[in-house]
Structure 1
Amino acid sequence: MSIDEVVPVLDVHPPHEAVHGWRDFLLHLLTITIGLLIALSLEGMVEWEHHRHLVHEAEASLHAEIKSNSDGLQKMLTEVEKQQSLLKQDVVTLKGFMAKPKPKHGTMEIGFHISNFDSVSWKTAQSTGALAYMPYGKAQEFAEIYSTQDELQAAEQVAARDAIISLAPFMNSEEKDPDPDAAEANAIKDKIEVLQGQLLLVDSLVKGLDQEYKKFLAAHSE
């Protein structure tokens, strides 16, 4: 029988025989005390084993989740750098529309892709209380990684909103429509430059998260 199968029961019975004097009373009291201590010790051991198993499962799951998120981060960084390059070209095109004479042709491309990070294991560790039984240093290590992930995802959502705002002037345009005039081009350029600034933040957070992933995985290599 394993320790997990032991179910300690605190069952205290009065003495079956009459107590004769202080000596018998103290003997019965000592017997009851020892029994209670044994039962409490067994209960504590079972609970400790349960918590240890819970922490082990949580750590394994979190490690796998972080590894999975890390594997997709380089692709995200490449996408951000590509978008930054396209936006620079968009600004050049818009400046051309603002100049005299205007260029005969100009192309623009605005878009942004939001990456998804898995966090089921992190949420499960929180809801089951596994984090409370981890050493403080380990719990803090996981918390910092997932906090950075949350910051990055929030920054991505803002960037996506900025991309939508930048695209708004073109939503109902048709091929036969005239090119933007100088004022329109300048207004669009202002919106794109806001998006460029937000992408700088996204880029910084991606690189910071990448360093956190690498540090964690190097310290906890299987």
Structure 2
Amino acid sequence: MEIHKPKAVHGWRELLTEIGIIVIGVLIALAAEQLVEWGRWHEKIGIGRDAIHKEIATNGTYYAFRVTTAPCIVRRLNQLAAVTEQLALHRRPEPIRFAGLHIGNLIIDNAWQAERAEQTLTHFPRAELDRLSQFYAQQEDIRLWVEREEETWATLRMLEGDPGRLGPADISALRNALQQARNLNFLLALNSKVELDQAQSLGVAIPLPRADDLNGLDVKRACAPLDRTLNPDPMGTP
């Protein structure tokens, strides 16, 4: 086998030319690699954005529900407060079938957490990421308020059945629960409106509750008149 010696470089100009060719080749290879990497992240951003937008739309149905039903909840609380004050005056009020609320869907953040774990969020445009972060940060507060609200309404359900059976300690607990429920309803309605506006700024349309969907049915229940009949099956369906 014939072996050829490397060709000698003649002069600085030829040396610089060969170095330039090598450098350009390396730069082209790096640019191509970066282009492939950019394309990969561009695809992941698109998939992640779609998943997050769907999640925001799902959570948005709850926020629309809270905005829609806020006046109904105020009315229900006023009715329960009137019953409580009747008890304080030793008057025997009519029975109450169901004193609670159907408060809508759960708030989720699975897609947001998944994209954070995949580090996809770090490649989002800064302005978009800031709006998404604000949306999900506020959602954490809302989730805590919802948990507190559920506990508060559990106390108010003491009024179900014959309220006349309740004593002074119960009346005190009911008054405290009523005040907490009013505050929480105000916070949830106000911040739900903020979340809906934030979702709209992200390009996510949130439909208002309809009568034929789950939240639409919950709106009907939340806004229905207080049923003043005894429930024959207190452990069953209200």
Question: Under a length normalisation based on structure 1, what TM-score does the superposition of the two structures give?
Answer: 0.73
Deviates further, 63-72 or 148-157: 63-72
Give 1:5's aligned residue: none
Number of equivalenced pairs: 200
- In the alignment, residue 214 of structure 1 is paired with which amino acid? Q
Please list the CA deviations of residues 8-34 of structure 1 after superposition, one character each: whole Å capped at 9, or x if unmatched: xxxxxxx96154455454444333222
User: Are the structure 2 counterparts of residues 99 and 44 from structure 1 closer, same or farther at C-alpha, using a change threshold of 3 Å?
Assistant: same
Give 2:210's aligned residue: none
CA distance in 2 between partners of 1:67 and 1:17 (Å): 67
CA distance in 1 between partners of 2:27 and 2:174 (Å): 76
CA distance in 2 between partners of 1:157 and 1:139 (Å): 27
Identify the structure with bigger relative contact order (alpha carbons < 8 Å, sequence gap 6+).
2
How does 1:10-49 map onto structure 2 within 5 Å? Answer: 17-20=6-9, 23=12, 25-49=15-39
- In the alignment, residue 51 of structure 1 is paired with which amino acid? W
Deviates further, 209-218 or 16-25: 16-25
Task: Determine if the alignment matches structure 1 residue 143 to structure 2 residue 143.
Answer: no
CA distance in 2 between partners of 1:16 and 1:116 (Å): 75
* Alpha-carbon distance, 1:55 to partner: 1.8
Q: CA RMSD in A?
A: 3.2
Secondary structure of 1:17's counterpart equals coil
Question: Under a length normalisation based on structure 2, what TM-score does the superposition of the two structures give?
Answer: 0.68
Give 1:8's aligned residue: none
Give 2:47's aligned residue: 57
* Alpha-carbon distance, 1:92 to partner: 0.6
Secondary structure of 1:217's counterpart equals coil
Give 1:103's aligned residue: 92
Cα contact 2:145–2:184 (8 A) shared by 1 = yes
Unmatched segments (≥5 aa) in structure 2? 206-238
CA distance in 1 between partners of 2:182 and 2:52 (Å): 33
User: Are the structure 2 counterparts of residues 162 and 190 from structure 1 closer, same or farther at C-alpha, using a change threshold of 3 Å?
Assistant: same
Percent identity for Structure 1 against Structure 2: 14
Please list the CA deviations of residues 67-123 of structure 1 after superposition, one character each: whole Å capped at 9, or x if unmatched: 3333443334344543332221111111111115x1353537134636323433322
- In the alignment, residue 190 of structure 1 is paired with which amino acid? N
Please list the CA deviations of residues 44-85 of structure 1 after superposition, one character each: whole Å capped at 9, or x if unmatched: 111111122222222233333323333443334344543332
* Alpha-carbon distance, 1:174 to partner: 8.1
CA distance in 1 between partners of 2:183 and 2:108 (Å): 26
Give 2:177's aligned residue: 191
- In the alignment, residue 145 of structure 1 is paired with which amino acid? F
CA distance in 1 between partners of 2:136 and 2:93 (Å): 49
Give 2:199's aligned residue: 213
Give 1:6's aligned residue: none
